[in-house]
Amino acid sequence: MPIITTMDLQWFVKWFNSPYYHILYKNRSLTEAEDFIQKITKYLQLPQYAKVLDLACGKGRHAITLNKLGFDVLGIDLSEESIKYAKQFENEYLKFEKHDMREVYHPNEFDAVFNLFTSFGYFENYEDNFKVFETVKQQIKSHGIFVLDYLNAEKVVSTMIPYEEKLIDGILFKITKSVENGFIKKEIDFTDKGEIFHFEEFVRLIYFNDFKKIYETEGFILDKVFGNYNLDAFDEQTSDRLILVLNK
């Protein structure tokens, strides 16, 4: 049987465009996402029809919720397949476009930028993380807001499960996790229709103090840091998430 693999510096381009990525992660909670969006926008007190950028929007679940709450939303993502899917939900105040988060799309246009569910930290070049913050700053208006929702690196490392299996849609995904060169490395192996597949994910271990250096370097001011989707206080040892609310 042929082996299909994605092991290169742009792994995220191929993997995020793969139908298997969406099969593996299809059970992510839509209700949880909607509840979080409602809580965070209430905290931010964004006005109706505020212009919002959903950065690395995937198939658009957060962007759609933001739009339902009355915001003018643009979702951008590098995955052509995700954007193609998301476009079916477009309306006058909800649009989707294929775009790289490291490049400016529209300067000085948005009241708020959201980067959610660990849609960051994929790049081999660490300086690209600074570049994303720089492009966000260029795209938000004066006194604009940047919300970044990331994994809590400290807890992820301490509670990592090295191996697990998930049976989804008749496909047995075998998932191996490890820490390698400052990244969480996830190897995903499975067989489908007579073909053996091997995918890899790399998410950089960026701790709160690392983010502090990035956002301060790029001129952001920390407004608040939350530790989960209920907006509880952040604790580096116990929190599930690291959610930064930054002001320009």
Q: pTM to 2 decimals?
A: 0.90
Question: DSSP states of 195-227 as a string?
Answer: EEEEEEEEEE---HHHHHHHHHHTT-EEEEEES
CB half-sphere exposure, 232, CA atoms < 13 A: 10
The 72-77 sheet, strands edge to edge:
94-98, 72-77, 51-55, 110-115, 140-151, 241-247, 221-226
Average pLDDT for residues 136-160, to the nearest whole number?
97
Q: Mean pLDDT of all residues in the chain?
A: 92
User: Is pLDDT above 70 for 119?
Assistant: yes
The structural domains of the chain, ordered by start, are 3-24+155-203 (no CATH), 30-151+207-247 (3.40.50.150)
Average pLDDT for residues 126-147, to the nearest whole number?
97
pLDDT at 6: 43
What is the pLDDT confidence band of residue 22, given thresholds at 50, 70 and 90?
A: confident
Residue 84 three-state SS: helix
What is the pLDDT confidence band of residue 99, given thresholds at 50, 70 and 90?
A: very high
The residue among 33 and 43 whose pLDDT is bigger is 43
The residue among 3 and 239 whose pLDDT is bigger is 239
